[in-house]
Amino acid sequence: MQISTTYIATIAIVVTFIASKFNIVIGNEEVTSWIEAVIVIIGAVKILIERFKKGGITPLGVRK
């Protein structure tokens, strides 16, 4: 079974958001904040790249 990398990125962002709302801490507070930020940034960039690859938009997201 293959799952879309866009779905994986979106799921990672949602799980990170939910974990922060339930105060789930990995290591100390600073490490948790960095991990959350990295996951959200990588996930968002992955989603943007996949959307651009599908065509119909410029790299800035404007419709062609």
| pTM listed for this prediction | 0.69
The number of folded domains in the chain is: 1
Q: Could you tell me how many residues make up the chain?
A: 64
In a domain, 60, yes or no: no
pLDDT per residue of the chain (64 residues) written in tens, 0 to 9: 677 778 888 888 888 888 888 888 777 778 878 888 888 899 889 888 888 898 888 888 888 8
Q: Residue 13: which domain range?
A: 5-54
Write down the residue that tokens 């419709």 correspond to.
63
Question: Residue 63 domain-assigned?
Answer: no
Task: For residue 25, tell me if it sits in a domain.
Answer: yes
SS3 state at 57: strand
Cβ partners under 8 Å of residue 24, min gap 6: 32
